[in-house]
């Protein structure tokens, strides 16, 4: 149970969109980190959101449960998956609602993380994910990059807020 929940930084994407949101110089003074996200992309369909830590795109693995409105399934992957964002032909002004949690982000152990994510498409197809991920690095997490799948863009009003948690 978190005893403190401190907002470190928050960002909202402007009119022209963005290729990524990067939280850098993250202080090591907290126990855990949480990123709350509300994301949308400017490409049609449903598109992946992805994670990089400390500028690294290597040594990521995950397992997830996903449902898409008609089928539920589990899967594993190494594409740094952070759920699915709605695009231009999905219900207007709807965004993902997701939370990414890093326990013991400054430790010298490999870094685990968890994600829960869902969209709010007003139609049959909509993605929900529960994901457990591992970054096999002993480095303390000092930066978090959130990117859409390559060559896609985060849409205006997409937001991400980073929180630090102490003594959870």
Partner 1 sequence: MADTKIVVDCSTGEVSEIELTAEEVAQREADAQAFAEAKEAEEANKAAKVAEKAALLDKLGITEDEAKLLLG
Using CB under 8 A as the binding rule, whether residue 63 contacts partner 1 is answered as no
Using CB under 8 A as the binding rule, whether residue 124 contacts partner 1 is answered as no
Closest CB to partner 1 among residues 59, 75? 75
- Residue of 165, 142, 159 whose CA lies nearest to 21: 159
Contact indicator for 60, 153 with CB cutoff of 8 Å: no
d(CA 145, CA 15): 20
> Which residue among 4, 5, 14, 138 contacts partner 1 (CB under 8 A)?
14
d(CA 2, CA 25): 23
Q: How far is the CB of 101 from partner 1 (least distance, A)?
A: 17
- Residue 142: other Cβ atoms inside 10 A: 16
Contact indicator for 116, 65 with CB cutoff of 8 Å: no
Each residue 125-164 as x (binds partner 1 by CB under 8 A) or -, in order, gives: ------------------------xxxxxx-------x--
* Residues of this chain that bind partner 1 (CB under 8 A): 8-9, 11, 13-14, 16-27, 48, 57, 66, 71, 73-79, 149-154, 162
């Amino acid at each position: 149970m978190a005893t403190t929940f401190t907002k470190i930084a928050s960002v909202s994407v402007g009119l022209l969109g963005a290729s990524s949101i990067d939280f850098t110089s993250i202080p090591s003074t907290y126990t855990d980190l949480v990123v709350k996200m509300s994301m949308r992309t400017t490409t049609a369909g449903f598109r992946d959101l992805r994670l990089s830590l400390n500028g690294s795109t290597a040594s990521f693995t995950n397992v997830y449960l996903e449902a898409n409105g008609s089928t539920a399934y589990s899967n594993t992957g190494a594409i740094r998956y952070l759920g699915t964002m709605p695009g231009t032909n999905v219900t207007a002004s709807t965004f993902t609602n997701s939370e990414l949690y890093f326990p013991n982000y400054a430790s010298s152990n490999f870094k685990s993380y968890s994600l829960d994510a869902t969209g709010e498409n007003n139609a049959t197809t909509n993605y929900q994910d529960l994901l457990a991920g591992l970054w096999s690095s002993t480095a303390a997490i000092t930066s978090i990059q959130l990117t859409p799948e390559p060559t896609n863009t985060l849409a205006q009003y997409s937001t991400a807020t980073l929180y630090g948690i102490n003594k959870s």
